[in-house]
Structure 1
């Protein structure tokens, strides 16, 4: 029986793909689950495994060919005339029997899969496996973290059992609902270590992630000694080869000695960028290159707010069980200014301007993984205590890596407070597709002229970066002056004047 080999279904954002590597040739025999071909897109390398034992009969799309999703690229015959696998299977029967005797007969295999990704997320990365093959796990235990461009998703155990195969290791790029491992539900005996590489074909020397690492290290397959089954190359093998001192027969001593003297005890560490960091870099460059960004500045006297806060902070905390900070004043002032200047609360979508009749404020939060901007929803409907509680909850989620896609999606305007780190003045970059971002800074005592006299006042610089394609100078300056006036006379926030 002839079976077609097809390109996997591509994500919505990927138009086509390229045939990267054929691991078998016409006439060659292979076994079930052996990788036949790698399909490379601009975001991920997809492996096409064999659905059963067979013999390759035709390759219609050679390496380098551009293909579409679900396109036929070859065929194979599900022939039963494969003698070698039969002999291997016979030889492997004692191993299989031994493995079966050490496992619980009633164990049920449950696939460990990537959670369904949001529409705006094309793929994800296996960040951290918290368990290894053979580990015993309990229901709801976190097995693996999956990192997307915006959040980290946890995959928990659906039942008690033992971890079987781990198909995709840390650093691999995966798709939504893709199988990345197996859980033997109900099992209580760890699988033997010898079975760790049973499912890996000897014909496949390196996975796509390992090949990428070899390219980064400048190594070829001949430079690396594979320690896996059938000579399979692992990431550890690549690191070992990369750290191995190169012995050149020509002038080895004169070349290496000065290098060691030059470095001395100094060291350097090279680590790959996380998916979030790469996304931040891409979005920042996109904002700089695709918008007419301009920044306008002003300064605000913070003494009225500081006096008000000092007077009421204790009773506020006792009444609302939350601390009275500066951010609630900032958010209130920004929300009121957005009502008066709708263009600042708008965004550009193609040739259209989208005016938002709601006020979702993104709050820049520094986390161990990088800067994120979770959204405070309907800020105009929140009290001062509601704003403080909302920001605190988002900050805690960001610190603990618990922000969800719902927390990160949307937002019409961003507030970033570099003052908490000591920044006196900066020009914040737009958070696309938003049209403006407000930068708050350090409150600094400075001599100011007040009614012809010099007074020492706590002053703070404000910086508004905006897209000049949508927001004119008059609107940007008027917006910033409104915030200044509201902060310098906070009673206006209560009186709505």
Structure 2
């Protein structure tokens, strides 16, 4: 019996998706509810489970193709040839690949990791004699993708080999220059959406950025004194982000326009602080949302951020987790950024940018002292937020970070 694999409903506003990577291949035996193909919308990547147990016999939509909600993208035969023999496996439980020489290549990879190594990645690793268990996976379900394999090969290659591969031009036998190679890769739906939203913000908003600097001494002292106790009790590290989220939601209560949005001729005020936290994931930057962050304590915030980070790496964030934010915090400091002008995420009206902490000389009480300083930036829509409010909002965050006792006392 042939069972159709269909694109599932992903939300009211999503009508079209792009087919991502097929996690199984034609001829593979699958179990019911086993994840078999990744699909990408403009908001998230999700994995489609097998509707029934059987053998994948047909792929109607290859990776990169577009499909609409409800469209059939493949077929599963639940009773191939009546009693078709199960596909043979290797001694360590690896499934042999039905295609030309993938089986041989898979067997050369380490057995404990081969089940999560995609065929193209397995070939690259085998060709360069790189162990799969040394590769950091970024694919759905911690699978090793072709890009992961290429990155791992590059990391272990000799400096001479890297230099040779990066050389843009070379001389041929007759002295002619060989043209530099290039690759053309379609943008993913998420990347296209990010590009469109950033362009929309630039074109539709009157964006302005204000800056300040904050002394991180007290926050670092609190983390030093109580960080281990916090981790022992709650099972998660006490990071810097929870301090800034707590400071931001308090400041948003003092300056509600920063948490508001423009809708036509109206200003929409939000009674809750739904804070988007920018996180780098397998498919690029994503911004999952902490709902009602004003109700959350330090431990709950840190646990939720850790959960979001894990899901971002596995590309398993849901659309509900990625939509509906009222204010965003982006920490470029984790990548070493010293100063930036973050771009507002429409329809929000402002975004807070955090940066790297650096020891700098500052004047304190007429003396020069060395303090850990971070630059802060708030980009805001000047159509709704005046400069005085933006500056005061940022100053409010600065004061609470420099005296974190205010956060604990909720003042």
TM-score (norm 2): 0.76
Q: Cα offset for 1:165? A: 2.5
* In 2, Cα distance between equivalents of 1:416 and 1:125: 28
Instruction: Give the aligned partner of residue 493 of structure 1.
Output: 407
Does the C-alpha gap of structure 1 residues 147 and 257 become closer, same or farther in structure 2, counting only changes over 3 Å? same
Q: Cα offset for 1:257? A: 7.5
Instruction: Give the aligned partner of residue 292 of structure 2.
Output: 378
Higher relative CO (Cα under 8 Å, sequence separation at least 6) belongs to 2
Aligned: 1:182 with 2:75: yes
* In 1, Cα distance between equivalents of 2:177 and 2:260: 56
Q: Deviations over 1:251-270 (max 9, x none)?
A: xxxxx989983336x53322
Q: Which runs of 5+ in 2 are unaligned?
A: 87-170
Residue correspondence of structure 1 range 63-78 to structure 2 within 5 A: none
* In 1, Cα distance between equivalents of 2:317 and 2:69: 18
Does the C-alpha gap of structure 1 residues 190 and 405 become closer, same or farther in structure 2, counting only changes over 3 Å? farther
Instruction: Give the aligned partner of residue 208 of structure 2.
Output: 294
Q: Deviations over 1:349-399 (max 9, x none)?
A: 122111000011000000121101000111111111111001110011001
Instruction: Give the aligned partner of residue 38 of structure 1.
Output: none
Contact kept, 8 Å, 1:360 with 1:375, in 2: the verdict is yes
Q: Cα offset for 1:495? A: 2.0
Of 341, 351, 358 in structure 2, the residue corresponding to residue 444 of structure 1 is 358
SS at match of 1:387: helix
Contact kept, 8 Å, 1:134 with 1:190, in 2: the verdict is no
Residue correspondence of structure 1 range 403-442 to structure 2 within 5 A: 403-442=317-356
* In 2, Cα distance between equivalents of 1:296 and 1:120: 34
Contact kept, 8 Å, 2:172 with 2:178, in 1: the verdict is no
Q: Deviations over 1:4-32 (max 9, x none)?
A: xxxxxxxxxxxxxxxxxxxxxxxxxxxxx
SS at match of 1:419: helix
Instruction: Give the aligned partner of residue 147 of structure 1.
Output: 40
Higher Rg: 1
Instruction: Give the aligned partner of residue 59 of structure 1.
Output: none
Q: Deviations over 1:108-164 (max 9, x none)?
A: 221100011212223100111123333322222221111111111211112211223
Q: Cα offset for 1:190? A: 8.2
Contact kept, 8 Å, 1:136 with 1:190, in 2: the verdict is no
Runs of 4+ in 1 over 6 A off after TM superposition: 256-260
Q: Deviations over 1:214-249 (max 9, x none)?
A: xxxxxxxxxxxxxxxxxxxxxxxxxxxxxxxxxxxx
Of 116, 131, 134 in structure 1, the residue corresponding to residue 24 of structure 2 is 131
TM-score (norm 1): 0.63
User: CA RMSD for the aligned pairs?
Assistant: 2.0
Residue correspondence of structure 1 range 259-298 to structure 2 within 5 A: 261-263=176-178, 266-298=180-212
Counting matched residue pairs gives 326
Does the C-alpha gap of structure 1 residues 321 and 179 become closer, same or farther in structure 2, counting only changes over 3 Å? same
Instruction: Give the aligned partner of residue 382 of structure 2.
Output: 468
